[in-house]
Each structure stands twice: as structure tokens, then as C-alpha cells.
Structure 1
């Protein structure tokens, strides 16, 4: 059960927070004070039971004092998310991110907005607790960073974005607030529509502004999705593609891998410079192939080119999408042509295109469609214990559902 602590002398703001937490699965404790304790321990000693998940520093107390307390909380109790209710100025935003404040809240926000922010902060707290637990040594060691998963296809129209968004949402259930999906289809990216997002900032802002110099600022440019993941969406106009270089992409991914456990990159079709820059850093490549001859031959050609360039990531996962026995091809035909076994089969499904059009991935809804089963199998391949499972030693043959 979530626990929230509010410190503020402002009765109106307290009322808004109480309205926001009413009906939520959690409790709220309020300290009506216009000055802050010397440290978080002074607050925790007055509470019974488990420590709180979210600390809200409300209006009526010094912003400088709030930032100082937040920095101490971040060091001593990193599993507690701090929300600061203060006017959002560029200086305050930068300072807040540097000291570990989870979110800045408009003091006049309505209860619904406050509720969303509290839920988001609770998810982040849960993710941090899981990461701090002893068993969290499961984190993959890739030079001190997270796994960069490039979702790729030589040609468009094979469901690459659908697979990428579902993979990110599925991983978000394993590692809440530790997953970010990056839309690297700079001309025609669909991650925003596939996740029903209206981003305030896009990839262009992230690589050309202050965020490129500070990872904490970069986090403020990401869009939070209700499934407990972050998204960095494609530019609003295809023209902006010319402003983003391969070096920008490399630097961005290096920043993100230091902050997130999983970075899912939805690449553009083909093997352009941005895709090659992604592959230079990727730990995994998820190849999406349709049940048609051009897609299958394109995949085989892509493998050959990347092998010549020595750009094949260590971990390769092949997904056969829209599989259909009536397509005139068998699974064996596909594997013989591409020269590699298929790892996951996603049968042709009505649920997948419907969910994409609706902007809610099937793994977010918990759909029991056969394609969902295949997507969950793909997500399982990235869980920390997958390498140790017995079936990893015997490369299983994918089958039609």
C-alpha cells in the first residue's frame, strides 16, 4: 500500500492533496508546518510502520530549503520519491532535477493532475526499491549501463512499432520507471500515436538543447506513459530529421543507458546512418519479419550487410509477425531463407492492429489473444534469469499457435 507524506502550512493545497488521494490505495499523513525538519529522519521517526513512498513538499515553505531536504532524501532514502510543489521556472527545474526531485507540481493543480503525479511517483518508488533489493544484482552488466534493444526491419509495414511498444510496456511491468522507448523513425515515427501520447518535447529537443549536456535535464524531456515507462517521441516534422546526426543518436543512447535498465529503440526501416549508429551501441537486436517473400529476403540481406560491417549485436532475437499457414510459406521456409532460427512467432491477429489504432498496446490491456502470448515470450527473453533457463541451452523451435 502506498504511503504519502505532505509537509505544508497551506490549507488549500492540503485539501487538494486529500481530494487527490481519496480512493487511492494508500494513506496520507500531513505535517502542517511552514518550516522543514533538519533531516528526513525527523519525519520518519514520527511515523509507524514502513517508510513512506512519496514525500510532497508543499507551498508555504522555502523552495531552497525544500531542495536541500530533497537532496538529503535522495542520498539517505533513494527509495522515496520527492515531489516539490512550486512554480516551474527553468532554474527551479534544473536545480530540482540535480537534487533528485521526482516531479515539480503546480501548487494550483487540480486533484486529477495531482493524483496522476502521485501514482507516477509511487511507481518510481517501487522501481527503486526493487533495484535496491539484494536480489537486484540481476542488472545486466553492459559496461555499467542498461540494455539497448534495437527493434529493426529492412522494410516497413511489418509491425515493427507495434512490437516495440508492446516490448517496452511488457518490460515496464518487470522494471517500472526503468524503461524508455525511443522513436528513431525520424520521418514517420508512430510511437506517440501507438501509445496515445501527446509529447511536450521530442527527440529534436533532447539532442539539440540543454538535455544533451545533462542527463537529469534529459529526463525532463521524456514523456511518462501510464504503463510506467518513459517515451522519447519522434520529431513533429520530417524536416527536422536533417538536424539530427548519427553522433547525436550515439550520445543520446549513451546518456540513456546510464539512467535506464532497458532502452527500446524503434528504428526506421532500412539501414540508414541513424540505424547504424544505434547498432554500434545496441546490446540486442530484435528483427521483425513478415510472412512475405520481400520481407524475408530483405532480412537475409540485412544480416549479410551487418555481418560484413561487424555490426551484429551480441544478442539477436528474430520475430516472425503476421504468421499465417495460408500464406503459402512455412516456418521452415522462412528459417531456411534467412539462415537462422525464428525465436518468436506472432500469428495473424485482429487484436494487434486494433490495439495500435486505439493507442493501447495489448500487453497493457492484458489481452489473451495468441499474439499476446508471443509478445510475452519476447519480453521473457530480456528478463535477467532467461539466460539461465534450461530452454536457452536447447534452441527451441518456434511453432504456430
Structure 2
């Protein structure tokens, strides 16, 4: 049985793909040495040695326009099938590939090890989607993590934390991460990622997008860090018409399409933020190392406990930690009534990266703050969560 189907006249690429499969993947490869794609997917399926494959690879020399057309048709009729295309990862092409429902883009020159990683990821995506379409499967099983980043007070580096989480997760699951800026009036995700988005949250909550996830995907902005972004409206006035119900629907849709949805929120607990929190699987609480931040966090947590809207999985982050401020981690913990999970020291490298619009985790920067940020990102890695589920909260030391 061939789990993988390849269409390409490139014999060298075929050999590398077969090496990738032979290097540890189950199943075989069926190759069609041609540049022609059928008008109807059923024509392809009729030629296979099984009813439907798991992964279809459109290799080098297949015309890209035809490949995008065929992938779009497959995405509508056979959404569980994972499609990989071999092409140079140009940002404009990545956007078109995402809109067509393509799972991954591989370089035509990828070696077997690189191809194996893509095939493993595509197979996992097929398994998730296939289970989701099975009648006996609960619909929640296919949803990704929704990670909300919150703080009752502004000025604690919440957006910096959110953008670095997204970039870090983009390395774990390339093109399976989207960051959403729900600070609708004064959001900084666009500047934090050095983006000039054509579309924003306003477009993403329109009736057309809320009814069709393909339309919604067209409103996302591709970022070079292998993630997507949905930025805040350009002016505060544009945010006035967006409702909590629309935000709930938006996060529901995105969680069905992406492995990770990172949500940056406005300071405090506005209605939009509470609506987002109800959809979050994980909440990251960010506090600075100052008394107003700590007291604000305690008040916010107390209110949310009373409202019973706190997700089970929370992560308390002490940002810009500095032992010279007169406060200790133990002071913060005793005040908020919860342990600090990750401490990120004050860092000039982080401040510089924020001003440049390039998150510090996007580049190989050696800095104590990057270690803390990487520890935070690791908490959302399925392998780490499974291994550490009984030790989710550990004491940190500044």
C-alpha cells in the first residue's frame, strides 16, 4: 500500500523521497513521472494501487499554477489529504499555497532527512483530519491549542512575549501557527513582526470569512518565520463594530485550521478578552517585577476565579525580571497565590529586537532572555507536555 503519491518527472527528487520514506516511515511511494495533472482528482485516484493516499507530493517541474489549482480542488473535495509542493519558499507563493490548502512547501533541493520531516508532519495532519471526519469522533479532537497572552496591566512586554511564542512555535510546527492581535484599538503585533498587512481582524470577522474558512485564510498575512498573522485594525474606530461573538467564532475557526493559535490581548479584562479566554486551552499570564503589575495580576486572577472562566492550563511568566528591583520571585508568588513558571530576565537584546520588529527568537541570539523564552515555548510542545504533565508548574529562581 502506498501512503505517499508523487507526481514529477524529476528522477532525482523521486529517489530522495523514497530514501526519506525508507528512513523510518511506514508505507510506500507510488510515482507518476509526468508534469500533467488531471482535471478531476478521481482520475488520479483511479490510477492508484489504493483508494486514497495520505500524502500527495507535487514535485519539481509540475507547473505551479496547475499545482495550486489541483490543490484547491483537493482541499475542497478531500480535506483530509495532505498536499506538499516542491517550490522555492517565496513569501508571495507561500500565501497562494496556504490559500490552496497546501500543507507544506519543500525546496526542490531538499535532502532525504528534510523530506522525511515534512512527510511525517503531513502524515500526522492526515491522521488528525481523518479522525475528525469519522462519524464516531468528537469534533473537538482536531482542534489546535489556543494560547492566550494576558496581563491586567500594560507595559509588561505582553506583545513581545506573544510574538516570540508564535515565532518559537513556528520552528516546532512551520506554517501551522497563527498569531491574532486582539488588542483591537492599539495592537502592536504588526509592528512587532515588521508587517504591513493588507487585511486585518475586521476582514476576518466578516460574514463571508465566518462562513468559509478558505475565505478566512485569504485574510491572513504570511511572516518569514513560517507563521501567519492576523493583525489589529489600522485605526481604533474600525474596532468598534467587532463583537465578542465574532471573536469567539474567529478563534473557533482558526483552532480547526492550525495546530497553534497565539492570541495577544489588550491590557485588562475587556469583553473581547473574556470572549477569547473562554476559547483558550492555555493562558499565559505576564507580570513585570513591580508592585502595580503584581497587584493587578492578583486582582485579575481573583475576578476570573469568581467568574469561573480560568482555563485549567495556565503559565505565569515573570518578564523583565531583575533582582535589583527590591522584589523577589517569592514575593510575587505569595502575592498572586500561584507559582511563577518561567522567568525572563531584563535584556537589551529583547528591547533591540522589539524596536527592529524582529522577535529575538527569530534569529540565533545568545542571551539569557532567549533561554527563558525557549522554555516558555517548550511548554506547548506536545512531547514536553506529555512528559511533564505532572510537573507543569515549577519554581524558578531569579
TM-score range, shorter chain: 0.7 to 0.9
CA RMSD between the two structures: 3.9
Q: Measure, in 2, the Cα distance between the counterparts of 1:292 and 1:347.
A: 13
Note if contact 1:386-1:392 (Cα within 8 Å) is conserved in structure 2. no
Query: Is residue 2:125 matched to residue 1:131?
Result: yes
Query: Which ranges in structure 2 are unaligned for 5 or more consecutive residues?
Result: 10-31, 50-54, 88-95, 132-138
Please, what TM-score do these two structures have when normalized by structure 1?
0.74
Query: Is residue 2:244 matched to residue 1:250?
Result: no
| Per-residue CA distance 1:210-237 (angstroms, 9 max, x = gap) | 1111111111111111111111100011
Select which of 185, 191, 199 maps to 1:187: 185
Note if contact 1:152-1:285 (Cα within 8 Å) is conserved in structure 2. yes
Select which of 320, 336, 340 maps to 1:338: 336
Q: Measure, in 2, the Cα distance between the counterparts of 1:367 and 1:220.
A: 33
Note if contact 1:318-1:343 (Cα within 8 Å) is conserved in structure 2. yes
| Per-residue CA distance 1:74-104 (angstroms, 9 max, x = gap) | 5685242499xxxxxxxxx9xx95xx5549x
Q: Measure, in 2, the Cα distance between the counterparts of 1:237 and 1:118.
A: 44
Query: Which ranges in structure 1 are unaligned for 5 or more consecutive residues?
Result: 8-28, 45-49, 84-92, 104-113
Q: Measure, in 2, the Cα distance between the counterparts of 1:68 and 1:153.
A: 40
Query: Is residue 2:310 matched to residue 1:315?
Result: no
Q: Measure, in 2, the Cα distance between the counterparts of 1:317 and 1:252.
A: 23
* Corresponding position of 2:284: 286
* Corresponding position of 1:198: 196
* Corresponding position of 1:348: 346
Query: Is residue 2:383 matched to residue 1:385?
Result: yes
Judged with a 3 Å threshold, the aligned counterparts in structure 2 of structure 1 residues 43 and 319 are, in CA distance, closer, same or farther, namely same
Please, what TM-score do these two structures have when normalized by structure 2?
0.74
Note if contact 1:82-1:101 (Cα within 8 Å) is conserved in structure 2. no
In the alignment of these two chains, the number of paired residues is 343
| Per-residue CA distance 1:244-268 (angstroms, 9 max, x = gap) | 0111111111111111111110000
State how 1:1-400 maps to structure 2 within 5 Å.
38-39=43-44, 52=57, 56-58=62-64, 66=70, 70=74, 78-81=82-85, 100-102=100-102, 127-132=121-126, 142-389=140-387, 392-393=390-391, 395-400=393-398
Q: Measure, in 1, the Cα distance between the counterparts of 2:306 and 2:120.
A: 44
